[in-house]
Every structure is written in structure tokens, then in C-alpha cells.
Chain A
Amino acid sequence: MVAAPFGYECVSSFEEAAQALQRRGEDAKVIAGGQSLVPMLNLRLARPAWLVDINPVGAGPIEDHGGYLRLPALTRHRAIEESDVVRRRCPILAEAAARVGNVRTRTRGTIGGSLAHADPAAELPCVAVALGAEVTARGPDGARDVAAGDLLVSYLTTTLEPDEVVAEVRVPTLGPRSGWSFLEMSRRSSDWMVVGVAAVVELDDDGTVAAGSVAFGGVAERPWPVPAEVLADLLGAAPEEALLQRVAERAAAMLHPDDDVHASGQYRRRLAAVLGRRALAEAAARARGHGGSAP
């Protein structure tokens, strides 16, 4: 397997990247970590005429802005996994990054690339949707902000324009009363998830649920956020096992996952109910213990 020929342009800023994309037209693709794109090139599932390589732009530090972390688009999964500030302020993101692919995938793969690639079974987009992360997309005429939930449309499809590139990602931090859980079921530990779930539960002083957010991966054409009306059953209630199970089962019942070679849709829906319950329980337990500790 060898990639078909393509032209290659290296850029040293996102502005240059957007200009290059505009100049090269719709047959140009951005390459960041290349861990999803290059297999597609090698298999000739993708045959872009041009690659615009943004790696020379580099990634600055991950910054803590209080309510959110700012991650440059080229932040590698390995850097997220090992970052002290991420493990302290948004441990669910560190845990999800540690579950991406194998060590080589994590050495090269980037958060911006993962979101722009929009694989519905990828870890970071699932967490981004659960937390309500925001993305800055840079185009030839400037930058715009878009919620991760509005960026991700369908299988490998985003609302990015052909001449836009993801420049940074802002991920909300977790408060001291919040607990979290990221669980996934995969056939082998470096594989894509069959089903995965990201959950955050915030408790009040009296131990009842003040807020919750949950998103599933691997169950639809994009990461699926559990609707607020389903999670509303949790609000003001003690996070007891029976309640968490009822909420997880109600959410799973709304899913209509496809069958594929990895699992049937029916099995995926069952997994969503089980993993959803476990994730809510783990998140609530961590919230009780102020256990936002690193994985």
C-alpha cells in the first residue's frame, strides 16, 4: 500500500494554512498528526491533490484560563495525557487522551486533528461534546468560534469550510464539586471504541445532583449528547443506583445505532445502558469524594 502522489505545502501559521487551502481549492487537505489521514492515503480511501502540513506551526503550552483550558490545535494526545494542568483541572480529558490508539498514535495525533477528522468513535470528540468544548476555526478572512457539538455533523464530516483549519480548542474545567467518568468498551485496548461514554456529575452540599452532562460515542453518526430532559430526572435527587440505571436506560432507549463488523446496533444500545449507568455512578462517587483526581 502506497499513497498516490500529492503536492505538499508546509505552513508556519494558521493564517498561512487558510490561505494555502483557499489557493489550492477543495482537493487540498490539512495534515496534522496524520494518524487517521495517512492510513486513508495509504489505502487510497482519500486522494487529495495537495496536503497542507501545519506541523511547523507547533503547539504552545496548554493554558489554564480559570473556567476553561486553552489547548493549541496541535497539542498531541501524549501531551494531554501527561499534562499536570489537564490532570488537575480536567482529568476526564487526560483519561480520554490516554485511551486513544497506541503510544505511536498518541505521540503524533492532535486534539485539533481529532475534532476535524470527526470520527464518531473517537475519544476526544466525545469528551468535547459532553463538556461543551469550543473550537476556534481560522479561515482566510479571520477566525470564528464554534461549539464542538455544532462542529461535528456526521461520519468524518464537520461544519468547517474547505479553507478553514482548527486553530485551538477550549475545554471547560471541572469544579471542585464535580466528578467525572470516561468509560469505553473496545475489542482490543488500542482499538476504537465500540461504545464509549463521558459523564460529569456536580453535587450540591446535601449530596443531591446539581448538574450533569453525558455524551456517548460509537452509537450514532457523531458523539451523542444525552438530552437535558433525560438528565433532568437527576436534578435535586440523590444519585442512587436505581435512579442512575433508569436514566441510563432511558437515554440508551433513544439510540438507534447501526450494525457493523464490530458489533450489532442492539448490542451497542445495551452497552450504552450499562456503561452509562457505570459512568454516572463513578462520576457521582468522585464528586462525593471531591475525587477529581488524575487517572
Chain B
Amino acid sequence: MSSPTRLPVTFTVNGEQREAWVFPHDSLLDVLRDVLGHHEVRYGCGEGVCGTCTVLLDGEPVSACLLLAVQADGHSLLTVRGLSSGGELHPLQASFLRNGAAQCGFCTPGMLLTAWALLQRDPRPSRERIRRELVGNLCRCTGYTKILDAVEEHAAEGIGGHD
């Protein structure tokens, strides 16, 4: 059996370089929340199913509960806090607000990041494509229709993929 020792990791979170000493078994989710204070990344299921801990790793959505913090070493992370800038909501967030797409709000960061990453790939996705992409983000308020409306409306504004 190994004797666990902490390892140094360095990654950027929302453009800012962060360092931490982590055990190999620490999840990225625990390190982001408990060490670095990113409480917008949320613990839901711990199995990669619910999507509340979604972060973007080099621009791609991943479950922070299934990534070891050591595996994020040298990579770039985006949390929902990195979407807005200077106190201004990102237009996708504004669309969520307009459409009433957040109820309790627990799933919202994961929904926003997954939708944002989709719009980088496909700025004008069909409703079916949005639905399929968001299938791994659960909303227990069951507010799915408004969430699809919000992403679709934002995409129709034609500004997805330009920020």
C-alpha cells in the first residue's frame, strides 16, 4: 500500500493561475470547492451523472467529480464565474434570466457551461442538438423547457461563439 503524499499542481481557473498541494485521490471538485473557494462548482452525485459539477477543461465539458485534481495539472479550467466579466452577465446568462430558466439554481452553472461549450462548436444548434447535448445535466426542478428556450434564444441572437 502506498503512503499518500501531497503533490503540487498548477492550473488556471478562469484565466488566473492557481496552485495547490493535493492528494492523488482528491477530486478536482473537492479542490476547487474546499481549497480554492469555487463554490459555484457543485457536488451532486459524485458519479458523473448529474452535471452539477461541470467545468470546462481546456474548453471541453468534464465532470469535476470524476477528474483527479492531479490530472488538471497544467490545464486551463473555466467555471461559471469565468463566463461573466466586470460584473456584467454573459448574454447566455441574461437569456436564462429573461426566460426564467433558473428555478432553484443548483443545476444552472452546469447548464450554462455545457450550453456555452456547445455554442463554441455549433453557434446555431437545432433544438434537438441542444436537448441532446444537455441530456447529462439534470434539473430536479424539471425546468428543462425554459432552459432549452434560453439557449435557443441566445443562439438566435447570433452571438454564440464570439466570446
Contacts and interface: CB of A to CB of B under 8 A. Distances in A.
A228 to B, nearest CB: 36
B134 to A, nearest CB: 8
B7 A104 contact: no
Contact of B61 (A2, A10, A42, A104): A104
Nearest to B73: A10
Contact of A190 (B65, B68, B135): B135
A50 B3 CA distance: 10
Interface string B62-80: 1101111011000000000
B132 A42 contact: no
* Interface size class, chain A: 20 to 34
A107 B62 contact: yes
A270 interface: no
B2 A102 contact: no
A1 B135 contact: no
Interface string A216-244: 00000000000000000000000000000
A158 interface: no
Please classify the interface of chain B as helix (H, G, I), strand (E, B), loop, or mixed, using the class held by over half of its residues. mixed
Interface in A273-293: none
Contacts of B132: 189
A78 B27 CA distance: 23
A80 B62 CA distance: 17
Contacts, number: 102
A58 to B, nearest CB: 13
Interface stretch (A12-20, A31-39, A164-172): A31-39
B54 interface: yes
Nearest to B23: A5
Contacts of B137: 102
Nearest to B132: A189
Nearest to A76: B60
Given A55-B71, A105-B48, A108-B66, A7 B60 contact: no
Contacts of A59: none
Contacts of A42: 27, 46-47, 65-66
Contacts of A3: 25, 27
B136 interface: yes
22 contacts: A4-B25, A5-B2, A5-B4, A5-B23, A5-B24, A5-B25, A7-B1, A8-B7, A8-B68, A10-B70, A35-B63, A38-B48, A38-B65, A39-B47, A42-B66, A43-B47, A51-B24, A51-B68, A53-B68, A101-B136, A103-B135, A107-B62
CB-CB nearest 4 A-B residue pairs: A102-B136, A7-B2, A8-B24, A1-B46
Given A102-B49, A102-B51, A190-B136, 12 more contacts: A3-B27, A5-B4, A34-B67, A34-B68, A38-B48, A42-B46, A51-B24, A103-B61, A103-B114, A103-B118, A103-B135, A107-B60
